[in-house]
Chain A
Amino acid sequence: MNQGMNILKKGDIFLVIIVIAAALTALAFYNWSRDKHKEGSSAIVKQGDVIVHRINLNEIKEPYTFEIEGDYRLVVEVSNGSIRVLEADCPDRLCVKSGWLRYKGDIAVCLPNKTMIKLEGVNDSVDGISY
């Protein structure tokens, strides 16, 4: 069974190194640009290509929840400075596992329901609610 030694070819090793290096660079760049002190304050909820909610998270006094209907039902919880998917009846519930979104660039996605929540800085959105 010496063939086992030749299973890995040069191209394979090259591919692994390139992909891992690219992924780490992208992650490092993301963490650097995210700037943890700058909290995301505008939450954008999209269903398909339509923005269904745009919420200024800094103006939330009392936490509340709302529902998103679609192929599946999502319950979204909003509180001061953060937002999360509280409940979902989709199969994998990845959006729930994403937890609280707090910083600019954080996103939670529910592919089966074509729903996405992403956070932006309040200055990034021209038509913010504070207008």
Chain B
Amino acid sequence: MTPLMEFRIKGLKRLVLLSILLAQALVLSIIESWIPVPVPVPGVKLGLANIIILITIIFLGFKDAVFVVVLRTVLTSIYAGGPVLFMFSAAGGLLSTTVMAVLYNRASRIFGLIGISIAGALFHNAGQLLVAMIVMEDTAVFYFMPVLAVSAVIMGSFTGLIVSYLSQKLERISIIRKD
């Protein structure tokens, strides 16, 4: 399989797509907040919004993905969370988006979308622990990292698989194709 084609969509089409993607990321975040997590470890979650972030990286590029991540984080913090949680999810989201974009653009031959998604989940958790470490001035929070890593592998594989199939289908839709 050749690496996914580089799509660079411009103008009004891009704006519309970006709004749809942002809305979808928001809805997935809200749905996710309704699902209880069985493990008492901060940071363990489904990461469904990651599907949308990775799709944005593939079809619109890194900058637009950052745009979606920042707006999603601001809006979900208003909906539920507040300033402290905003700090944690912004750090995790930006780090994870950067890592996924770099891997997707530079290392697509080595890593498929599943690997990229797992790496994104890992760095999302690492970014949050990093902020927790700075806030608490305590390295004890890294005690959670092994559990978070295992959950990142499981959930990253799941969302990566979804992105693989979703992006294959989206490529065939004429609206998304480059003009």
Contact = CB atoms under 8 A, between A and B. Distances in A.
Interface stretch (A5-13, A35-43, A61-69, A75-83): A5-13
B161 A16 contact: no
B110 interface: yes
Contacts of B42: 92, 94, 109, 111
Contacts, number: 112
A53 interface: no
B154 to A, nearest CB: 10
A65 to B, nearest CB: 20
Contacts of A95: 40
A75 B84 CA distance: 20
B135 interface: yes
- Grouping DSSP codes into helix (H, G, I), strand (E, B) and loop, the B interface class, with mixed when no group exceeds half, is helix
Interface string A1-41: 00110111111100110011011101100100000000000
A24 B80 CA distance: 34
Interface in B4-58: 37, 40-42
Contact size range, B: 35 or more
Contacts of B141: 107, 109, 116
Contact of B111 (A15, A49, A71, A105): A15
Nearest to B41: A94
Interface string A71-114: 10000000000000000000110110111000001011101111
Contact size range, A: 35 or more
Contact of A71 (B84, B140, B149, B153): B84
A19 B122 contact: yes
Contacts of A26: 145-146
Nearest to A120: B140
Given A7-B164, A19-B149, A49-B135, A111 B111 contact: no
Nearest to B115: A12
Given A107-B140, A118-B138, 12 more contacts: A4-B165, A16-B157, A19-B150, A20-B149, A23-B150, A48-B136, A91-B81, A94-B42, A95-B40, A108-B40, A111-B132, A116-B141
